[in-house]
Structure 1
Amino acid sequence: MEHIDSVVIPATINLHTVTVMTAWVPVTLPEYLTWIALFIIMTTTLIPDRKAYWYKGDFAFKPVINFSTWMTMERFDAINKMHIFVVVPDGMAHGNDKLYQLRAFIDAYNEKLKEVVIPGKYLCVDESMNQWLGHGMPNLKKIPRKPHSIGQEWKTVADVNTCCIIRLCCARQCRLIST
């Protein structure tokens, strides 16, 4: 949470966006967390027409939650369009590591989990997929055995008792970390 509040929001979304858009209203932490929650709902409840998430009338495929209660579609799209994880994109770093922009976020996520989750006796190493939503994505792979077969492959470590993912790393960059 600290990484999101101190790095992702002020340095990347707001600083980057002000250079591109003149009439930008800065994103706050509560608004960013709302954006993440709506994004998660969109990826877990697939509706053929994306606009239906904001639809107010009677619609057969409407979601349980009307997104317009929390955020307009225009604001959601603006945050989505301007969302980056580094202030200045680096072509050299991109050549060495396609996910260099996410590296600090992943490291912060993993470090925070070390503080708040005490793993059980048994751990499970697994592969997870970050689903492809139809536009650019680094390290795009097709793995037919997965329910969502196209996306980014991640190696994860999960606690067998709680089924909680306690470690993330990109499949290409994964290395065992002793604790």
Structure 2
Amino acid sequence: MRIDRRLALKVGGLALALTSLGLAGYLNAGDSYGAMPSLVGASQWLNSPPLDAPALKGKVVLVDFWTWDCINCQRSLPHVNDWARRYADQGLVVVGVHTPEYDYEHDVATLRDKVAMLGIAYPVAVDNDHQVWNAWGNQFWPAHYFVDRKGQVRHVHFGEGDYGAQEQVIQALLDEKA
């Protein structure tokens, strides 16, 4: 299933506008960017069997697009790791989508080493062919997509920073009933 073209344009256009202002994409309670796009297309998964939207329904999901040699990703990963550990028992599932920027980042053995070195214990989709990236209409590293228990993308954040506000989004989504 591919992302609705209108959603990709909406998120992509919003990303450009908000990133230039250094802001995240906030919605009012109950608003949505649309249904969670597909995670199908990853060539393999680390730390997990393959995941998809139906398997994640009923969970709050943080999808983190990253790549191991991105300095901004390296700065955001400790926060993502912390959220994954602290909120897992409340229903948060973090899914890392490793989409390489450079040719040398395609090596899965090196990626496995980096995942271990960075202490990433949550599922990581290996997106060497950018299929998940394209399905989501993503354009940035790091990019955080927050999905509610009903499978709706409710918040986006591009780039590093604003970690307190991102954590508040996680808490608010966890507090919502399915």
Which bin holds the TM-score, normalised by the shorter protein? Answer: under 0.3
Q: Does 1 or 2 have the higher relative contact order (CA < 8 Å, sep 6+)? A: 2
TM-score calculated relative to the size of structure 1: 0.25
Which of these two proteins has the greater Rg computed from alpha carbons? 1
TM-score calculated relative to the size of structure 2: 0.26
